Structure 1
C-alpha cells in the first residue's frame, strides 16, 4: 500500500529532522559501536526511538529493521517491513556537516514500495511510491540521460577505483565525485545531478532501501555489483555492493567490473 504509506513516511522524516536538528553535531555525545561498526551519536538514538514508536504504532503488522535497533528474526515473517537508517552519514553529522540524511522505506515481499530520503539541513525531501514516480520537494525528478561515461560525474569513494576490481586492472574513465551519505548519493543520481554511483563493499539494507525505489521510479537502474536486482528484508541484511544510474551508464560500469574480485571494506 505505497499510496498510504508514503504520507506516513514523510511525516516521520519531518519529525526526525526536528529531533536531529536539536543536536549540534560535534557537541552531540558520540561513541564507536562494537566490532568496528562505526560511530553512533545520541541524535541517532533519539531519532530511532521516535521512529520506532511512531511507525510501529501506525503499522503494527509491519516488521522492523533499523541500523540502531538490535535485529530480530521476527521481521522475516512479515509481509511488509520498515527499513530505517535514523541518520545516514553519522560521521558527517558528528563533524558538523549538513550532508546527512534520514532514510526511511517500506519493503513488501522484498521490494521497496514507499521511500523517503530527507536532508533537513539542506531542505531536501526526496519521495517515491511504487508506480507513482519520484520527486524532490514535490517536483518530479529523473535520472540523467547521459550516455558517455568518460565525461560523466560518478559518485564513488576512492577504494572503489582500486585496480583489482576492474577488468584489465584499470577502472573506466569517469569524473569521480563523493558525498558522505550513501542515501544522499542515491538521491543525487535519482535527481540527475550525477550520472551514476557505485559502492563495491557489502552494503547494509538500511543505507540503500529508500534510494533503491527513488532510482527505479526516476527511470534509473540499480543492482548489486553483479547486476542482480536488489531484494530487501534478507536474513543477513547486507547487499553485494550497489551500482546505480541511467541504464547506459549502469551497463558501462557493470561491464567494466571484474566479477571475480572480492568486495572492499571502505565506502
Structure 2
C-alpha cells in the first residue's frame, strides 16, 4: 500500500508542477492573508487539483492543507493527506526558483509516505516509512559529522538571537532557503548538516520533509527534541530541528 500511495503522490506532485509553472513569472494574482503572508491564484489552483485528484483516488483519507478550511472529519480517518500546494509562495511570486510542492500521507500521527517536488529545479524527493529516501530516484543520506564551527545549517537570522540558546549562539555556517520543505530535503540529501526553525511550524510545511530526513538516516524533532506529531488539532509543531545523527543532539543540547 505504501508504494501505491507513493506512486500517487509522485504523479500528483509532477502534475502540480505543471499547473504552477503556468502561473510562475506570469504576474499571478496575489492576496495578503494577513501579517505579510501572501497567497496566489497558483496556490489555489494547485490546492484544488491536489484535493480533487488525491481524494478521488483515496476517498477514505482525511485532508489537511494550507489553502483549505480545516475539516474535523480528518480525525475520524485512518490516514490523512497533509499538503502544502506551494511552499515558498513569496519566492514563487517573486519569480525565484526555490519553491516546492509538499505532499505527505500521515497515519497515527506519523508521516509514512512523502513527496517534495521543485518543478523549476527539477528535484523530486520521495520517501516511504522503512523504505529509505531518494532524490530523482537516487538514494540519499543525511550527513554524520560531529557539530563544529564548520557545520552548515539552514536557518533564518532570527535564530541567532541569544535568548534562543542556553548561553550564546554557537558558531556554525548559516545558510537559508525560503521553502521549509526544501530545507528539509537538502538536509536529507546531505547538502547541509541540518536545519532549524524555532517558531511554531505548520504541519503542511514539514510533514513530508520530516519523513525524508528520518528515512535518510537523520533526526527530525521539535525544538525541544520531542517527536513531531501530525494531524493534530492545532496543525502546528513547536518549531523543527532536523539534522544528521550527530549534529541533531548537539543542537538540542545547546538550545534554550
Q: Same fold (TM over 0.5)?
A: yes
Runs of at least 4 residues of structure 1 off by over 3 A?
A: none
Pairs within 5 Å for 1:58-97: 58-97=57-96
Aligned to 1:254: 252
Answering whether residue 6 of structure 2 is matched by residue 6 of structure 1, we say yes
Distance 2:123 2:236 in 1: 27
Compute the displacement of 1:37 (Å). Answer: 6.9
Matched length: 256
Aligned to 1:57: 56
Compute the displacement of 1:72 (Å). Answer: 1.1
Aligned to 2:186: 188
Compute the displacement of 1:25 (Å). Answer: 3.2
Instruction: Look up the SS of the partner of 1:36 in the other structure.
Output: coil
Distance 1:26 1:250 in 2: 40
Distance 2:190 2:86 in 1: 23
Answering whether residue 145 of structure 2 is matched by residue 146 of structure 1, we say yes
Distance 2:24 2:254 in 1: 42
Is the contact made by 1:115 and 1:210 (CA closer than 8 Å) also made in structure 2?
Answer: yes
For structure 1, list consecutive stretches of 5 or more residues without a partner in the other structure: 259-267
Compute the displacement of 1:172 (Å). Answer: 1.0
Structure 1 stretch displaced more, 182-191 or 18-27:
18-27
Pairs within 5 Å for 1:109-258: 109-168=108-167, 170-258=168-256
Alpha-carbon RMSD: 0.9
Compute the displacement of 1:146 (Å). Answer: 1.4
Distance 2:148 2:188 in 1: 16
Per-residue CA deviation, residues 234-259 of structure 1 (Å, 9 max, x unaligned), is: 0110000000111110011111011x
Compute the displacement of 1:179 (Å). Answer: 0.4
Per-residue CA deviation, residues 151-204 of structure 1 (Å, 9 max, x unaligned), is: 111000001111101012x11110000000000000000000000000000000
TM-score, normalised to structure 1's length? 0.94
For structure 2, list consecutive stretches of 5 or more residues without a partner in the other structure: none
Aligned to 1:261: none
Instruction: Look up the SS of the partner of 2:170 in the other structure.
Output: coil
TM-score, normalised to structure 2's length? 0.98
Is the contact made by 1:103 and 1:210 (CA closer than 8 Å) also made in structure 2?
Answer: yes
Compute the displacement of 1:36 (Å). Answer: 2.5
Is the contact made by 1:67 and 1:85 (CA closer than 8 Å) also made in structure 2?
Answer: yes
Compute the displacement of 1:206 (Å). Answer: 0.1
Compute the displacement of 1:24 (Å). Answer: 2.8
Distance 1:118 1:237 in 2: 22
Distance 1:44 1:225 in 2: 28
Instruction: Look up the SS of the partner of 1:27 in the other structure.
Output: coil
Compute the displacement of 1:26 (Å). Answer: 6.0
Aligned to 1:46: 45
